[in-house]
């Protein structure tokens, strides 16, 4: 178990209670139960250099501090850093590397992550990336300059699962930093730090906020003073921080995270089981159903399987687009993790950038669903009707 700071509500508190209370205390002046939006760019000093812990909102802001403390507790971490987006958070942890360093990354990643690696960091920072299936023997790819292993589990969009404890064990022997994008799982379903991972990354835009009205990201680390100092410097120096209003909205979303994830998990399983019966599609992928290649790993390290489902549609991209347009409840949109159900074609949308390049694992006829918290029967009926039309 990772070492972490003492919780203000008790270390043995259940997740549902942490989601409501972690990092949040009644405001000292008014007693406001919800953390206020501290919309101030700067803070007064009683005398030069003498202040109450806040100087300038890029460096620190009370609303952002509450969010960061909440995120750290939800992931069983010691310190969290909030950013203006998920890829801003990813860029920040990559800033800890030096030119010439080598990163081993999963061969199935969010398209924006791959773009950040290949188009920005590889070219401007001279960082070397190797993409591989981390479920295979990746140890042979480790070199003297390998400084980081980058994980997604479940991956986006193929929903691969990988053994976090195994990767952490191999990495620690070689003193390699491990980073896990936990966006699809959320800390409700999976807490990578508990399995020995060094850094957890989230696009808080997704399930953490859960209402499709904020862009945000974060990094959460265990007790590591050296890394904490580096990330504090990067966060402040680069300045890709969220506004107090965005922090406020994300804090609000966190309060219902446990309730929402329970429903996402339930609906995801029901819809996945229905899709297995549809003749028009194949290769239904969901970690919670029979047939998933890494289901045994998922059962060991996850408490639930989330709301993300993929399948292969028997048809052309044009036919897939027509099918999607027939849906009434599902919205055609990028992103995921909101209360509403979404559908997308990675080949036409989120992974269009990488579809004809080196990173081309995603089948063109793959369809991705983000299952919301609506009534599962209504979602299944919507899909049934669209398949029939």
> What CA–CA distance (Å, rounded) separates 356 from 61?
43
> What CA–CA distance (Å, rounded) separates 21 from 251?
10
Strand order across the beta sheet in which 366-370 lies:
281-285, 308-313, 366-370, 342-344, 331-332
Contact 268, 371 (CB under 8 A): yes
Catalytic residue among 58, 165, 166, 326: 58
> What CA–CA distance (Å, rounded) separates 385 from 382?
5
Known catalytic residue at 286: no
Q: Which residue has the tokens 């399930």?
A: 207
Residues β-bridged to residue 220 = 80, 200
Known catalytic residue at 295: no
Half-sphere exposure in the Cβ direction for 50 (13 Å, CA): 3
Q: Which residue has the tokens 């969901």?
A: 286
Q: Which two tokens stand for residue 81?
A: 């850093």
Q: Which two tokens stand for residue 388?
A: 């029939």
Catalytic residue among 18, 121, 191, 206: 206
Residue 168, helix vs strand vs coil: helix
The helix (run of H) or strand (run of E) holding residue 79 is strand 79-83
Catalytic residue among 4, 18, 107, 110: 110
> What CA–CA distance (Å, rounded) separates 225 from 348?
43
Those residues with Cβ within 8 angstroms of residue 262's Cβ, 6 or more apart along the chain or in another chain: 188, 304
Known catalytic residue at 207: no
Known catalytic residue at 206: yes
Catalytic residue among 181, 198, 246, 382: 181
The helix (run of H) or strand (run of E) holding residue 83 is strand 79-83
Q: Could you list the active site residues? A: 58, 110, 181, 206
């Amino acid at each position: 178990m990772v070492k972490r700071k003492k919780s203000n509500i008790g270390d043995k508190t259940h997740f549902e209670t942490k989601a409501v209370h972690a990092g949040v205390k009644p405001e000292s002046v008014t007693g406001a139960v919800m953390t206020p939006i501290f919309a101030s760019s700067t803070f007064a000093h009683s005398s030069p250099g003498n202040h109450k812990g806040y100087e300038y909102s890029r460096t620190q802001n009370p609303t952002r501090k509450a969010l960061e403390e909440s995120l750290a507790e939800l992931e069983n971490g010691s310190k969290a850093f909030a950013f203006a987006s998920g890829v801003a958070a990813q860029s920040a942890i990559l800033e800890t590397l030096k030119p010439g360093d080598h990163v081993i990354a999963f061969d199935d990643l969010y398209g924006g992550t791959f773009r950040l690696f290949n188009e920005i960091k590889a070219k401007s920072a001279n960082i070397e990336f190797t993409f591989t299936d981390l479920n295979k023997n990746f140890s042979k790819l480790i070199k003297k300059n390998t400084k980081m292993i980058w994980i997604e589990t479940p991956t986006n969009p193929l929903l691969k699962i990988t053994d976090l404890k195994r990767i952490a064990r191999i990495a620690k022997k070689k003193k390699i930093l491990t980073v896990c994008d936990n966006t699809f799982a959320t800390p409700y379903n999976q807490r990578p730090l508990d399995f020995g991972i060094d850094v957890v990354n989230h696009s808080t835009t997704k399930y953490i906020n859960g209402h499709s009205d904020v862009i945000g990201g974060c990094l959460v680390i265990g007790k590591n003073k050296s890394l904490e100092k580096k990330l504090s410097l990067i966060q402040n120096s680069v300045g890709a921080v969220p506004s107090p209003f965005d922090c406020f909205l994300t804090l609000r979303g966190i309060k219902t995270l446990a309730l929402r994830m329970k429903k996402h998990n339930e609906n995801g399983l029901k819809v996945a089981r229905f899709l297995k019966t549809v003749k028009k599609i194949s290769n239904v992928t969901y970690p919670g159903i029979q047939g998933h290649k890494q289901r045994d790993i998922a059962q060991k390290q996850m408490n639930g399987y989330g709301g993300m489902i993929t399948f292969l549609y028997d048809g052309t991209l044009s036919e897939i687009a027509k099918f999607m347009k027939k849906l009434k409840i599902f919205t055609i949109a990028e992103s995921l993790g909101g209360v509403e159900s979404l559908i997308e074609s990675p080949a036409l949308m989120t992974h269009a950038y990488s579809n004809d390049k080196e990173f081309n694992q995603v089948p063109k006829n793959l369809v991705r669903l983000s299952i919301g918290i609506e009534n599962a029967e209504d979602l299944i009926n919507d899909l049934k009707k669209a398949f029939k039309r």
